Amino acid sequence: MRNVARERNAFTLVELLVVIAIIGVLVGLLLPAVQAAREAARRMSCSNNFKQIGLAVHNYHSAYKKLPMQGGGTDKPGVGASQGNSTTGGGGNQLWLTWLVGLTPFFEQQALWEQISNPLRRNTSGTAMSGSWSAMGPIPWQSEYPPWMTEVPTLRCPSDPGVGLPSHGRTNYAACVGDSGYMIDKGPIDENGNTNSDWTETVRVAHRGVFALRREMRFRDILDGLANTIMSGEIATDLGDNDVTTRMGWRVTSSENDAPLTKGVFFDPTDCDANLDPNRPQFWADGKGILAASEGRGYRWAYAYPVYSQVTTIRPPNSPLCLQHKSGAYRGGHYSVSSRHQGGAHVLMGDGAVKFITDSIDAGTSTAPMPYKVKASAGNSQMWVGQASPYGLWGALGTRASKEVISQEF
């Protein structure tokens, strides 16, 4: 009688375990590569959005012979009922619209521009309106006005996961105002809508970037060369987690007049670092001075206030944000670029080129006082007309006409 070997129709337990182990090892090796590839694709898309904005700026300048205004609009501060009403409409923007509002028809958002530039009878709550919102819209923090609540894809970096309330329409791209944060929340127009001569003289000295709040700027003003000057910077939007790059820290200053000379963030940009959580230095400590949850970085694409749509070149990318605070009112401060990418953030140069700036860029002396000029009544002043930026290559890239030679790669 012959012995016939039985045919085996299945894997043994040992073989199954070996196959599972091999698959697990392969997955462990491949997942980081897949994640890296996805982030590379998101970063490329983020850069492409920035290039589209840069092209829009150049087309805008070609059409109007000037740059879109940061802090523009139709109604001056203190004029009219700025808030408007979800039923009767109306309202005025009080010169708080960003440079991005005027750019909308130049980056394929003509329909949104038509809503903004014409009276609009529609609100976000969907209730009937008896009147229309004013042309160019009410104040940019009016949540019942649909355009201000619109998420514009071109203004969002795919690497940034921030969505939803308490933000309105978010932006990841902000106007560069230079190497000083002094009065970048005011500009030359006072609270009554009048041009203030003291303020005008002060901001002419301090506001050295491509954009200056409530001032018309042109390419001819960029004497250092378009290719050598940052026009806009990337910002990460706030996720509500006290991150130092997306939530503003602040420190109380007792005297507004002497603050820039002897204390505070204008005198020392690292002033707010005292509020960092010692166990997690990328976050503010609980109970320390930080802005309210509704005032997160990038929360309102149409609002020209610094925390939402401005960047400075004072401290390097992804540094803690800090503003001046006095008597319940916020002042200027410093607002660096930031991102969800690893190791740096994108900037848009004046010629439309997009560069990735690393966190380790030469930023000079972080504790150096900001360029400014205060009123003579303060007993002293610091003039920085034509002087080089104290913030190294980073500061030099942010100034438009300081005649600094850019001799390094960045």
Across 109-135, average pLDDT: 93
Give the model confidence (pLDDT) of 88-110 as tens digits: 999 989 899 999 999 999 999 99
Does residue 8 surpass a pLDDT of 70?
A: no
pLDDT greater than 50 at residue 145: yes
pLDDT at 183 over 90: no
* Confidence check: pLDDT of 374 > 80: no
Residue 53 reports pLDDT greater than 50: yes
Say yes or no to pLDDT of 120 above 90. yes
What is the predicted pLDDT for the residue at 257? 47
pLDDT at 249: 86
pLDDT at 222 over 70: yes
pLDDT band at 124 (very low <50, low <70, confident <90, very high): very high
The confidence band for 201, taking pLDDT boundaries of 50, 70 and 90, is confident
382 pLDDT above the threshold of 70: no
Model confidence over 234-293: pLDDT tens digits?
A: 999 999 888 999 988 887 665 444 444 567 888 889 988 888 988 998 999 887 767 777
Tell me the average pLDDT across 402-408.
74
Q: How confident is the model at residue 379, as a pLDDT? A: 47
pLDDT in tens, 297-326: 999 999 999 999 999 999 999 999 998 776
Average pLDDT value for residue range 203-230: 92
pLDDT of residue 34: 61
Percent of the chain with pLDDT over 90: 51
Choice between 148 and 199, residue whose per-residue pLDDT is larger: 148
How much is the pLDDT for 337?
A: 96
Q: What integer pLDDT is reported at residue 170 of this predicted model?
A: 95
- Mean confidence (pLDDT) of the chain: 85
Instruction: Provide the pLDDT for residue 5.
Output: 52
- Residue 9 pLDDT: 67
What confidence score (pLDDT) does residue 332 get? 81
CA separation for the pair 255, 327 (Å, rounded): 9
Res. 387 pLDDT band, cuts 50 70 90: confident
In the prediction, which pLDDT does 384 show? 61
Kindly report the three-state secondary structure assignment for every residue of the chain.
CCCCCCCCCCCCHHHHHHHHHHHHHHHHHHHHHHHHHHHHHHHHHHHHHHHHHHHHHHHHHHHHCCCCCCCECCCCCCCCCCCCECCCEECCCCCCECHHHHHHHHCCCHHHHHHHHCCECCCCCCCCCCCCECCCCCCCCCCCCHHHHCCCHHHCCCCCCCCCCCCCCCCCEEEECCCCCCCCCCCCECCCCCECHHHHHHHHHHCCCCCCCCCCCCHHHCCCCHHHCEEEEECCCCCCCCECCCCCEEEECCCCCCHHHHCHHHHCCCHHHHHEECCEEEEECCCCCECCHHHCCCCCCCECCHHHHEECCCCCCCCCCEEEEECCEEEEEECCCCCCCCCEEEEEECCCCEEEEECCCCCCCCCCCCCCCCCHHHCCCCCCCCCCCCCHHHHHHHCCCCCCCCCCCC
